[in-house]
Amino acid sequence: MLELATSADRAAVNALARQVHELHVSWRPDIFRSVEEIYPEERFLECIQARQLYVAKLNGVPVGYILTKIKEYNIPSMQPRRIFVLEEICVDESFRGHGIGTRIMEDFHALARAFGCTDLELGVHPENDDAVGFYQKCGFTIKSIHMQRKV
């Protein structure tokens, strides 16, 4: 279902990204702010060139996307690991609950194998109960809890 995004997908990805971004704005207005474009042209093209941005399409129409990155650990105090990180994921609001997210996550897992990764990783806001449940259904477990405090 996932394919590497192309420049023709930018408007659709921006529309999808805004759906998720506005949730973040509502949860953490101290960090996030509303913007028209999540992916200005330069950033969008950089993500494509780095093979980090993938689009899920139904009948040629983007209905979801993911942004990924690879982190590598190869230091003496840790086991060597190559982690495929899910930076962002979105399924269009009108298509949620129809298995598209599950298919995207299956493809995410397959991409990780193709890139020689040893682990999958993602972050999720604790307010996003639906996403937490979905990720657990996909086999993810809580690895750590990040905390912060204002200065």
- For residue 59, the model assigns a pLDDT of 92
Q: Are 87 and 78 in contact (CB under 8 A)?
A: no
- Please check whether residue 106 is in contact with residue 70, taking contact to mean a CB–CB distance below 8 angstroms: no
**Residue closest to 64 by CA, chosen among 26, 24, 97:** 97
Q: Which residues of 112-141 are buried (b: 16+ CB within 10 A; e: fewer)?
A: beeeebeebbbebeeeeeebeebbeebebe
- Radius of gyration from C-alpha coordinates of the chain: 16
DSSP state of 19: H
pLDDT in tens, 75-113: 999 999 999 999 999 999 999 999 999 999 999 999 999
pLDDT tens readout for residues 44-86: 999 999 999 999 999 999 999 999 999 999 999 999 999 999 9
**pLDDT band at residue 145 using 50, 70 and 90 as cut-offs:** confident
**How many Cβ atoms from other residues are within 10 Å of residue 149's Cβ?**
4
Return the beta strands (E) in the chain as ranges.
Answer: 2-4, 53-58, 61-73, 81-91, 119-122
Distance, CA of 4 to CA of 10 (rounded, Å): 12
Helices (H) and strands (E) in the chain, counts: 4, 5
Q: Are 101 and 122 in contact (CB under 8 A)?
A: no
